[in-house]
Structure 1
Amino acid sequence: MDDLREIRTVLAKPEPSPEVVARRRRQLHAAMSGRAPRRRARLLLVPVAAAAVAAAVVVAVARPGGPPPAVTTARDVLLVAATTAERTPEGSGTYWHITVTVGSRPPSEYWYRRDGQFWIKGKGLKGEGKLFRFTTKSQPFIVGPLRMSFDELRGLPVDEDALYTRLRSAIADGDVRTSAGAPSESDLDGFTVETLVSLVSEAPVSPQVRAAAYRALASRPGVTDLGETDDGRRLRIPMHGGDREVVVDPETARVRNTPVWAPLTGGLAFTTTGEGATIDAEWTDELPAE
């Protein structure tokens, strides 16, 4: 059946057994079937390009009398997000435009050129709501504790294991320090996960690299699903400095209404008002008028 092949593609790498496929279908159905009517309508009205992903999320009802479905795992959520990311057209343009919206407040916006030059606009930022250009020399993008050029970001591995290894090795070889000195093995793992979160949050990587980052997160121990929200799934993710809650929408493969994210300015960002931040990013050829 087409839907069964789709589930195999979305939920497993390598291909799972039929029993695992059936169990994950029941899990995702149980998790998604409890949404409010408005949320279910969104699933029914997905664009044609996302229909395959929706088919993987909204799956057949378990047979009457069968065993109760298990709780959806964080791995399931992240693997669905990975497939969404891989199938979402990237677009093109001169500037990588990032919009960060917290609650009902005006958004903060960032426009990055491939050489690292960037512009910002938003209350509380330089320029106080007016477009402001940083006139410093070209600089690399900051992802987690790493500084990477645009070409280095675009050249990251599209295999999740190779991606994790590449990032961890770069952090180990770089000038990264903690309060205790050189990072420990657990520090390196935490920094690497933080970098993966940056790749899925704001970094101008290809859809294939973003998908690999989601799959690498799915394979990390301690990543836990905390349940449904109006904007996605709440996930507890171990990073450097402790566990953090990040909200991922598997339908868009974006970080939405989340209290924690990893911006291109480096490190982690947190909301302080109890409201979550929604991150949108796309290529554009336009800068707003100053």
Structure 2
Amino acid sequence: MKTPEHQDLAELLPAPAERDLPPHRHRHHKERLLHAIDADRRSPAFVRRLARPAFAVPLAATAVAGALVVTTLTGGHDGSRPPAERVPLADAGPQRASVLLDRIAAVALKSGTKPVRDDQYVYVRSVATETVHIKPVEAGGLKQREDWFSQESRPSNDVGVFREDGKFVTIHGADNHPAGIDRPTYQWLASLPTDPDALYQRLRKETRPIKGVDFDQTVFDTIGTLLWSGVMPPRTEAALYKAAAKIPGVVTMRDAADADGRHGVAIAREDRQLGQRTEWVFDKKSLTYLGQRTYLTRTDEWGKAGTLVRATAILERAVVDRARQIP
């Protein structure tokens, strides 16, 4: 028998049949939402009837732009298990992130990314951990996925196509869904201010809060998703890194690993309300973006500190001329 709380949760989550949100992003936000709801219930201000949050989840995928440009990122992926079920917490210690973010921004300025046409698609081949248990959290094996994301800048319900387990699935957005923070096309990203202060304020204005989640963390996650999934001019990308440095609590970690087991440095932030730290992982030499991971930072009913919640890795990315085209 469903409790009122189960009913509230069912109403909060999108209907799975609509496919308006890629499954890996839906799982990520479901995990964070469940944790937020549980934390909210333990507070004196718990309100049984929770407001429906708007999941501001960009749907395009990262690429080095061009008519047909392919980047392959090698690693130790064997498709079976995540790189580690526990994340060591004995890092030498977090440091202020502004210096590393300035270095990453300088690399982004030299990337030479070219404009992407509205009629093109961004192709991404990635891996991510599957969640096999939510409470206590347990990240299972890795699953490969391919995405083709439409770059149509006009209002459209053509979001793209993904392939998982050998099956193609069309991703449908809302009718005439405009380009924006929920659907960040190249043209929309190119329209953002390149002054870091102005960009930071713009993102804070357009990021929608999730009940029970630290808003600064939500802004951090929004920027992280844009960096993971957005094809943008070099100046815009550089500005995003510098805007991230303005978020309170953002630090540098000297060692981190993506879902493919590749180690690098990380830009990280801890959501102390949820007891989770999210890290953007970059190659130590080239400062190339590799992926993300999230893990628990305290021991509670959700699991032991250091337990991996989720990890992702980009293995290949390209700009192609049509959906389902393989680079």
Q: What is aligned with 1:258?
A: 292
Which whole-Å deviations, capped at 9, do the CAs of 1:58-86 have from their partners, x for residues lacking one? xxxxxxxxxxxx99753222222111122
Q: What is aligned with 2:125?
A: 99
Query: Contact 2:161–2:324 (CA<8 Å) still a contact in 1?
Result: no
1:158 equivalenced with 2:197 (yes/no): no
CA shift in 2, pair 1:141/1:201, >3 Å = farther
Q: Distance in 1 between matches of 2:233 and 2:293?
A: 25
Query: Contact 1:200–1:254 (CA<8 Å) still a contact in 2?
Result: no
Query: Contact 1:248–1:255 (CA<8 Å) still a contact in 2?
Result: yes
Q: Distance in 2 between matches of 1:109 and 1:241?
A: 32
Shift of 1:164: 0.3
Number of residue-to-residue matches in the alignment: 196
TM, length-normalised to structure 1: 0.54
- What's the secondary structure of 1:205's corresponding residue? coil
Q: Distance in 2 between matches of 1:192 and 1:71?
A: 20
2:150 alignment partner AA:
Y
Return the structure number with greater relative CO, CA threshold 8 A, min gap 6: 2
Q: Distance in 1 between matches of 2:184 and 2:96?
A: 32
Structure 2: tracts of 5 or more residues without a match: 1-92, 130-141, 257-261, 295-306
1:232 equivalenced with 2:259 (yes/no): no
Which residue of 96, 110, 114 corresponds with 2:152? Answer: 114
Which whole-Å deviations, capped at 9, do the CAs of 1:116-141 have from their partners, x for residues lacking one? 52332332xxxx52333345644245
Which whole-Å deviations, capped at 9, do the CAs of 1:202-258 have from their partners, x for residues lacking one? 123322111111111123331122222443213321469655321331555554242
Q: What is aligned with 2:231?
A: 204
Query: Contact 2:224–2:280 (CA<8 Å) still a contact in 1?
Result: no
Query: Contact 1:102–1:257 (CA<8 Å) still a contact in 2?
Result: no
Query: Contact 1:202–1:281 (CA<8 Å) still a contact in 2?
Result: no
Q: Percent identity of the aligned residues?
A: 19
Q: What is aligned with 2:169?
A: 132
Query: Contact 2:223–2:244 (CA<8 Å) still a contact in 1?
Result: yes
Q: Distance in 2 between matches of 1:76 and 1:179?
A: 32
1:204 alignment partner AA:
V
- What's the secondary structure of 1:256's corresponding residue? strand
Shift of 1:96: 2.1
**Greater fraction helix:** 1
Q: Distance in 2 between matches of 1:240 and 1:112?
A: 36
1:132 alignment partner AA:
V
Q: Distance in 1 between matches of 2:271 and 2:94?
A: 24
Query: Contact 1:77–1:233 (CA<8 Å) still a contact in 2?
Result: no
CA shift in 2, pair 1:253/1:81, >3 Å = same
Which residue of 86, 99, 102 corresponds with 1:76? Answer: 99
Q: What is aligned with 1:245?
A: 278
Query: Contact 1:120–1:133 (CA<8 Å) still a contact in 2?
Result: yes
1:222 equivalenced with 2:263 (yes/no): no
Query: Contact 1:119–1:131 (CA<8 Å) still a contact in 2?
Result: no
1:193 equivalenced with 2:252 (yes/no): no
- What's the secondary structure of 2:147's corresponding residue? strand
Root-mean-square deviation (Å)? 3.7
CA shift in 2, pair 1:255/1:244, >3 Å = farther
Structure 1: tracts of 5 or more residues without a match: 1-69, 261-271
1:112 alignment partner AA:
S
Runs of at least 4 residues off by over 4 Å: 70-73, 146-150, 238-243, 250-254, 272-275
Shift of 1:105: 4.0
